[in-house]
Amino acid sequence: MGFFPFLLLSLLALCPSFSNGDMEPKIGICYGQLGNNLPTQSKSIQLIKKLGAKRVKIYDANTKILEALKGTHLQASVMVPNEIITNISSNQTLADEWVKTNVVPFYPKTLIRYLLVGNEILSNPPNTTWFNLVPAMRKIRYSVKKFGLKKIKVGTPLAMDALESSFPPSNGTFRSDVRDEVIKPLLRFLDRTKSFFFVDVYTYFAWANQPAQINLDYALLAATNITYKDPVSGLAYTNLLDQMLDSVIFAMKRLGYPNIRLFIAETGWPNGGDIDQIGANIYNAATYNRNVVKKFTAKPPIGTPARPGVVIPTMIFALYNENQKPGPGTERHFGLLYPNGSYVYPIDLSGKTPESEYPPLPKPTNNEPYKGKIWCVVAEGANRTAVAGALSYACGQGNRTCDPIQPGGKCYKPNSLINHASYAFSSYWSQFKKSGGSCYFNGLAVQTAHDPSYGLCKFPSVTL
């Protein structure tokens, strides 16, 4: 052996090894079901195949979906629900029963490849489930081996809030409240079982929180002349997603696990949202998701600055705009498809369609923060019984929220449920927004820039 080949082998021996093995650069889709207007499970699987996805992640173990996946080439991720983690963590029999009931009947005709225990457990308020997570994963892993499900990996998806520091990437650090009792055992488990660190990573939320500090194109993976250099590692970054992923890699390395593979369990960009939600539009969503597809289907693989050339399996969130998801409007607008099965914007998850073949996108109109007043009113078609309950809730929060709609008040007439509820919603939101109050009321309310005030009745508003 000559000197240079020997030197090369010596250098490779010093570097962490990330075997791509049979991992191909393929994009998957997250199939959420929080809608009352969604296509059937079998129709949904056909739509997923049409999108060019190669993997699918569901948030339960829906038997109709798993049945519809039989005989397809779609690799599936199935989820153990949060609420049974604590019981499973101390009861192997329960773990065995769950796997036997929800996985064994479908394997291997349905290509179940990942069992995810819980969903973003560490994003919930402090609770005992945090500390039962890894014990439950061990039990599920034992069941997987017991039933001979050889190709299934066990993991758990965590959000970026599992880190207390992510900037610069080299300073990536897990939260101190979970670092020793949860994260270290988790990393030990993933390392020992050769599984993945599943992470939900959204550049949208990072950018929306600091739009003046973070360049939008940098967050969209669309920047052409922006580079950030990590002052410690010296690594150069051309997009925010790489920064966020590498902060996780450095956080794992800090705890002594530099080689655990990453799996993007969720990423995406909202195609719409509330008036006060910046940058949630079709143009940005299409730009981001197409760039994600381009990056993670590239051959040879691109990887990240900390792990160049490494395959990172990736799931885009989500299949549909789901109308029953709680929270801000963006939560109901992450879909690649409308519930009728039509595309929100053209996209090919296989990565084979060049950008030049897509038609022009509608120009964004909300990439700058909204400036003006916003009101909160009853949504069209809202259930009247539910509205009456929400009205009682809004008025019951005190602070004279509903005084003007009491008999004799300036907004009492017209004495109608919708009018009174709209006033109550606006009044509640204007008073409690800063402390976490929202204009949602379980889907009964919407934001409006049209002032609903009339005569002497002035509706309170939120001013941005």
Q: Determine what percent of the chain falls in helix, strand and coil, rounding each to the nearest 5.
A: 35, 15, 45
Report residue 308 as tokens. 């160049």
Which residue, chain included where needed, has tokens 């009682």?
A: 392
Which residue, chain included where needed, has tokens 């349905």?
A: 110
Contacts of 221 (CB under 8 A, 6+ apart): 203, 239, 240, 241, 287, 288, 291, 292, 295
Residue 164 a catalytic site member: no
State how beta strands 236-237 and 173-174 pair: unpaired
Q: At what angle do helices 92-102 and 129-146 cross, to 10 degrees?
A: 60
Q: Give a three-class secondary structure readout of 183-236.
A: HHHHHHHHHHCCCEEEEECCHHHHHHHCCCCCCHHHHCCCCCCCCEECCCCCCE
Chain centroid, CA 115 distance in Å: 17
Report residue 399 as tokens. 């602070």
DSSP 167: S
Report residue 461 as tokens. 């508003």
List of E strands, 202-324: 228-229, 236-237, 261-267, 303-304, 307-308, 314-317
Question: How far is residue 9 from each of residues 3, 307, 363, 378, measured CA to CA in Å?
Answer: 10, 18, 52, 68
Q: Which of 266, 269, 296 is nearest to 283 (CA)?
A: 269
- Exposure of 404 by Cβ count < 10 A (0-12 exposed, 13-18 middle, 19+ buried)? buried
Which residue, chain included where needed, has tokens 């590692």?
A: 233
Which residue, chain included where needed, has tokens 């997570």?
A: 133
Give the Cα separation of 113 and 130 in Å (integer): 24
Contact (CB, 8 A) for 220 and 240? no
Catalytic residue among 67, 266, 322, 368: 266
| CA count, 13 A, side-chain hemisphere, 384 | 4
Question: How far is residue 248 from each of residues 240, 306, 308, 329, 413, measured CA to CA in Å?
Answer: 13, 10, 15, 28, 57
Residue 266 a catalytic site member: yes
Catalytic residue among 67, 97, 120, 181: 120
Catalytic residues: 120, 266
